[in-house]
């Protein structure tokens, strides 16, 4: 059933074999040296305790396998002149990728002080997992990387994202057997059903089964080969198998497997591009079985190490204190015969470099792994082409995301030839009212189709799969290789990618400090079908907390926008799609929403991020208001304006200010966030000492956290979502959470000094209306007519 690569079909010459083995030994030596050595990098003198790092950090177990793959990728890239990057799923094997980039010279190109000689080798060793140095994982600091790999599960989705719309690119992806057990990785196998062999590049998964995780066997490594083969074929792949622990035999088998796989990829692409084949291809995949910690210590202290979980991190962990371990380390390092691999000056010999490609073909220098170098500005049409007419506030309604969908259709049309914009989402594009994009492109799909299907297209640039992890991974890989995109998702379920966005934000923050990393297009989220209009789906679909999660992260890299209507959503979308090196979260409803601002007002308001809506208040030129009604989010804005309307009619002498916030980070101090307001500006907007009733889209305590240092904070009262939801009417959702207009009026009455006694009748009326609402919806199943038919009359 299984297919083992036949070395006889693609034989290596003896010189190639010697060069590959020398390169692999050199990479293994450098990997082990980084983990252990503080000095004496070439063992020009006997190893002493002071040559050893005081803290041994790093992962040895996966490094020999990664070195093997890197060595063999170098060979095929050089021989076939391939444009190739590699996603290293076992990213904790940082020593291997660093070693190989030093060998091919791309590390020295990036960091000129780490020269490709003995002195540079010493620096390479010393800096690894050392204060002021570089991380132990494959990280932004690593040339040729676009995947951190510390948190496992995302390598294959990143690889597919990198290959999309990159027809000349080969993306190799090493998947560790521990990573292969994760849910995100399991879903990402389906990426091959979305890969268009005409317009996209190729992904070559390399499943590396070294048998063990940190302390347990790996599931796929223990499956009978027939069962594993059936699984991988069921995912739509043609597996090729390489296994062994004899270096020469493994070199020959892996070289043959790579050549066979690349021949198959070339045939698939030729059939699709030149012959017009529309059959879904079954792409090759390599299963590589080699021992964990291969070529390291066979045993330590009488216990087996090589080929077991004990080699995962540091096989010899007491080298400074234990003379036997020190001797074992020296024996281990000398087993690679460094005197054959590096010349007198410590430079790699010609034999070591015989398989290494040159220039941008080096894996450490390929510009696709530094995607900002390839990034072009998105040809955005003027968003005012889609703005809606607003003669007066609140007179008309539109579905904001439906209007945005027309703008995105224009973006898709403008990028039809250059193919560098994608829309991803978990089966929700039409549900989120973005279906106008289908006038410009279809949904990517390579599997079978039926007559009832709509908008499926082999070359489509809308990506839908019911796995938020996969959507996120695709888009990250796409952005990191120099393209643009948008992730549309139900608000409650974007939490599924909480940890993924954490990793991306960390990547961006680190990359910003590296002058050689060019800025990439921002990761843009559109969160819709939000908490306040999940009255039909109920409690399970109500969670606005992603905003809280994101605003906990690096301030320089995160932004959150809550546009209150259609025109502000268009202005925000135009802004975020032009931005770089950010994670932008835009929360906007898809249900009919009142139009408050015309195109120019929306532009100015979004540029400010927060502002006074003087047309909604009743200050009438007074020096300071009696109270401030503030809002952030579309439904809270409607409730605040309805409350202002009630106050205007029932409390005409009250000086009320209405403030709307679009950019949530504006509430933060200027010292804490690039968009934060200085105290003077904040005080001018919200006052220093007047009651502020703030209606917020999400969890109310976030607003308190953002504004806790402000002078007005003791007077700040926030209403928002407090985990009270059900299948109910739209207005009942806000009543359940005390965000409704009647409660807001009551809050103002309760908090303006002296007003409670004078307005007791108004407060009682508001409470009575809430009671009538409760009875009405249970009798009629709809909201009160005074709510359902309300319009702004100010």
Question: Is 749 a residue whose pLDDT tops 60?
Answer: yes
Contact 547, 485 (CB under 8 A): no
Residue 631 near residue 694 (C-beta atoms within 8 A)? yes
Residue 115 tokens read as: 């020269």
- Residue 258 and residue 792: Cα distance in Å, rounded? 68
Percentage above 70 pLDDT, the chain: 99
pLDDT at residue 721 above 50? yes
CA dihedral 481, 486, 490, 492 (to 10 degrees): 50
In degrees and rounded to multiples of 5, residue 560 shows phi and psi of: -135, 130
Mean per-residue pLDDT for 121-132?
95
**pLDDT tier, 540 (very low <50, low <70, confident <90, very high otherwise):** confident
Cα–Cα distance, 504 to 511 (Å, whole number)? 10
Q: Which residues contact 107 (CB under 8 A, 6 or more apart)?
A: 98, 101, 114, 116, 124, 143, 364
Bin 433: left if φ > 0, else alpha if -120 < ψ < 50, else beta: left
User: Which carries the bigger pLDDT value, residue 534 or residue 191?
Assistant: 191
CB 593 within 8 A of CB 639: no
Q: Can you give the pLDDT at residue 3?
A: 61
Residue of 194, 188, 89, 193 whose CA lies nearest to 147: 89
Does residue 147 surpass a pLDDT of 80? Answer: yes
Q: Is the CB of residue 586 less than 8 Å from the CB of residue 508?
A: no
pLDDT of residue 536 exceeding 80: no
Q: What is the arithmetic mean of pLDDT over 446-450?
A: 95
**Which position has the token pair 């889609």?**
386
Beta bridge partners of 398: 593
Compute the distance between CA of residue 683 and CA of residue 292 in angstroms, rounded to an integer. Answer: 61
- Residue of higher predicted confidence among 2 and 468: 468
Token code pair at residue 236? 């739509």
Is residue 682 a contact partner of residue 673, using CB atoms and an 8 Å limit? no
Above pLDDT 90, what percent of the chain?
A: 92
Q: What is the pLDDT of residue 535?
A: 63
Evaluated on CA atoms 151, 153, 156, 159, the torsion sign reads negative
Looking at residue 6, what is its pLDDT? 74
- How much is the average pLDDT of 226-242? 98
pLDDT at 344 over 60: yes
CA–CA gap between residue 601 and residue 596 (Å, rounded): 9
pLDDT of 601-647, one tens digit each? 999 999 999 999 999 999 987 789 999 999 999 999 999 999 999 99
**Using 50, 70 and 90 to split pLDDT, how confident is the model at 1?**
very low
Does the structure show a pLDDT above 90 at 91? no
Comparing 39-43, 147-151, 452-456, 482-486, the range with the smallest average pLDDT is 147-151
Using pLDDT thresholds of 50, 70 and 90, give the confidence band for residue 741. Answer: very high
The mean predicted confidence, pLDDT, of the chain is 95
Q: Which residues contact 171 (CB under 8 A, 6 or more apart)?
A: 84, 85, 86, 87, 159, 160, 162, 163, 201, 202, 203, 204
Residue 537 confidence class, pLDDT cut points 50, 70, 90: confident
The strand order across the sheet containing 283-289 reads: 83-88, 169-176, 202-209, 283-289, 237-243
Would the pLDDT of 706 be above 90? yes
Q: How many residues in the chain?
A: 794
206 strand-pairing partners: 174, 286
Alpha-carbon distances of 747 from 290, 625, 740, rounded to whole Å: 68, 15, 11
């Amino acid at each position: 059933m299984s297919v083992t690569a036949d070395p006889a079909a693609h034989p290596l010459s003896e010189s190639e074999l010697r060069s590959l083995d020398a390169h692999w030994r050199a990479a293994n030596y450098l990997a082990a040296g980084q983990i252990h050595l503080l000095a004496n990098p070439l063992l020009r003198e006997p190893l002493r305790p002071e040559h050893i790092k005081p803290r041994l950090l790093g992962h040895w177990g996966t490094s020999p396998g990664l070195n093997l793959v890197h060595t063999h990728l170098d060979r095929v890239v050089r021989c076939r002149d391939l444009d190739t990057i590699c996603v290293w799923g076992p990213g904790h094997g940082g020593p291997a990728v660093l070693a190989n980039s030093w060998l091919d010279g791309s590390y020295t190109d990036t960091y000129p002080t780490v020269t490709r000689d003995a002195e540079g080798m010493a620096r390479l060793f010393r800096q690894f997992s050392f204060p002021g140095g570089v991380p132990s994982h494959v990280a932004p600091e690593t040339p040729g990387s676009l995947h951190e790999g510390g948190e496992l599960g995302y390598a294959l989705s990143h690889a597919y994202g990198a290959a999309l719309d990159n027809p000349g690119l080969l993306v190799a992806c090493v998947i560790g057997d521990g990573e292969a057990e994760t849910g995100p990785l399991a879903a990402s196998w389906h990426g091959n059903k979305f890969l268009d062999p005409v317009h996209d590049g190729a992904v070559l998964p390399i499943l590396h089964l070294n048998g063990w995780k940190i302390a347990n066997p790996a599931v796929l490594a223990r499956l009978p080969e027939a069962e594993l083969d059936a699984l991988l074929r069921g995912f739509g792949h043609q597996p090729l198998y390489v296994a062994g622990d004899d270096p020469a035999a493994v070199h020959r088998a892996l070289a043959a497997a790579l050549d066979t796989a690349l021949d198959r990829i070339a045939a698939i692409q030729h059939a699709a591009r030149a012959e017009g084949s529309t059959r879904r291809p079954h792409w090759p995949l390599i299963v590589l079985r080699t021992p964990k910690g291969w070529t390291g210590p066979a045993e330590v202290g009488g216990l087996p190490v090589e080929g077991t979980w004990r080699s995962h991190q540091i096989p010899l962990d007491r080298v400074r204190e234990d003379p036997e371990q020190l001797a074992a380390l020296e024996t281990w390092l000398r087993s690679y015969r460094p005197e054959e691999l590096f010349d007198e000056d410590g430079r790699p010999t010609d034999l070591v470099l015989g398989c290494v490609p040159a220039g941008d073909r080096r894996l450490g220098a390929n510009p696709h792994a530094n995607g900002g170098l390839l990034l072009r500005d998105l040809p955005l049409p003027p968003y005012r082409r889609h703005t809606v007419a607003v003669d007066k506030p609140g007179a008309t309604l539109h579905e904001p995301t439906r209007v945005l969908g027309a703008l995105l259709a224009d973006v898709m049309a403008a990028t039809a030839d250059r193919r560098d914009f994608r829309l991803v989402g978990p089966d929700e594009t039409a549900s989120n009212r973005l279906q106008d994009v289908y006038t410009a492109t279809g949904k990517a799909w390579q599997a079978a189709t039926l007559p009832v299907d709509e908008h499926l297209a082999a070359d489509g640039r809308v990506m839908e799969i019911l796995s938020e992890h996969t959507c996120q991974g695709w888009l990250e890989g796409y952005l990191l290789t120099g393209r643009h995109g948008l992730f549309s998702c139900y608000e409650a379920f974007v939490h599924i990618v909480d940890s993924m966005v954490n990793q991306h934000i960390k990547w961006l923050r680190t990359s910003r400090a590296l002058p050689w990393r060019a800025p990439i297009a921002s990761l843009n989220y559109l969160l819709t079908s939000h908490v306040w209009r999940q009255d039909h789906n109920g409690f399970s679909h109500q969670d606005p907390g992603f905003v809280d999660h994101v605003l906990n992260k690096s301030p320089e890299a995160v932004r959150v926008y809550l546009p209150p209507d259609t025109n502000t959503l268009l202005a925000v979308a135009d802004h975020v799609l032009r931005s770089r090196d950010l994670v932008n979260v835009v929360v906007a409803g898809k249900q009919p929403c009142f139009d408050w601002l015309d195109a120019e007002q929306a532009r100015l308001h979004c540029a400010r991020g927060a502002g006074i809506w003087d047309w909604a208040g009743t200050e009438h030129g007074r020096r300071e208001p009696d109270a401030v009604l503030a809002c952030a989010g579309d439904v809270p804005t409607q409730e605040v304006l309805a409350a202002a309307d009630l106050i205007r009619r029932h409390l005409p002498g009250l000086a009320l200010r209405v403030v709307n916030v679009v950019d949530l980070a504006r509430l933060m101090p200027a010292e804490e966030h690039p968009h934060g307001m200085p105290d003077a500006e904040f005080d001018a907007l919200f006052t220093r000492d007047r009651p502020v009733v703030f209606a917020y889209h999400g969890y109310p305590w976030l607003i308190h956290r953002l504004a806790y240092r402000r002078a007005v904070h003791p007077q700040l009262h926030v209403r928002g979502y407090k985990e009270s939801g059900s299948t109910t009417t739209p207005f009942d959702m806000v009543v359940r959470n005390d965000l409704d207009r009647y409660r807001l009026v009551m809050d103002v009455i309760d908090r303006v000094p002296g007003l409670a006694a004078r307005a007791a009748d108004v407060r009682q009326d508001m409470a009575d209306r809430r009671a009538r609402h409760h009875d009405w919806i249970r009798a009629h199943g709809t909201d009160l007519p005074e709510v359902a038919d309300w319009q702004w009359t100010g």
